[in-house]
Amino acid sequence: MILSGITKKYNDNSLAVDNLNLEIEKGEFLVLVGPSGCGKTTTLRMIAGLEKITDGTLVFNNEIINEMSPGERKIGMVFQSYALYPHKNVYENLAFGLRKAKVPKDDMNEMIQQTARMLGLDGLLKRKPKHLSGGQRQRVALARAIVKQPNIFLFDEPLSNLDASLRVSTRKEISKLHQQLQSTMIYVTHDQVEAMTLGTKIAVMNKGKLEQIDTPANIYKNPRNTFVASFIGTPPMNLLNGNVGIKDNVPFLALSKRSWRVQNDKAEKLSEYDGQAVIIGIRPEDLFLTTEENEHLTGIIETIEYLGSETVIFCKTDVGDVLIRLERYNHLKIGDTVQIGFNVEKLHFFDSMKEENIF
Ligand code: ATP
Q: Mean pLDDT, to the nearest integer, of 285-307?
A: 86
Taking only the tens place, the pLDDT of each residue in 71-117 is 889 899 988 877 899 999 999 999 998 998 899 999 999 999 999 98
What type of residue is 288?
A: F
pLDDT at 290: 87
- Ligand 1, residue 45: give the atom nearest the CA: 11
Strand pairing class (2-9; 55-60)? antiparallel
Per residue in 156-167, pLDDT (tens digit) is 998 888 888 888
Task: Using the atom order of ligand 1, give the atom closest to the CA of residue 38.
Answer: 6
Distance 357 CA to ligand 1 centre (A): 29
Q: What is the ipTM score, two decimals?
A: 0.96
Among 7, 12, 31, 38, the mutation site with the greatest number of ligand 1 atoms within 8 A of its Cβ is 38
pLDDT at 44 over 90: yes
Q: State pLDDT tens for residues 248-273.
A: 999 999 998 888 999 888 889 999 99
Of 87, 89, 85, 84, residue with least CA distance to 127: 89
Is 201's pLDDT higher than 90? yes
Residue 175 predicted with pLDDT over 80: yes
Q: What pLDDT is stored for residue 28 in this prediction?
A: 97
Q: What are the chain's domains?
A: 2-231 (3.40.50.300), 238-351 (2.40.50.140)
pLDDT at 307: 86
Residue 135 has what pLDDT?
A: 86
Average pLDDT over residues 175-190: 93
At residue 293 the predicted structure's pLDDT band, cuts being 50, 70 and 90, is low
CA 358 from chain center: how many Å? 23
Q: What is the mean pLDDT of the chain?
A: 92
pLDDT computed for residue 185 by the predictor = 96
The string of DSSP letters for 183-229 reads -EEEEEES-HHHHHHH-SEEEEEETTEEEEEE-HHHHHHS-SBHHHH
Reported as a single tens digit per residue, the pLDDT across 14-36 is 899 999 999 999 999 999 999 99
pLDDT score for 119:
85
Q: Residue 291 Cα, ligand 1 centroid: separation in angstroms?
A: 50
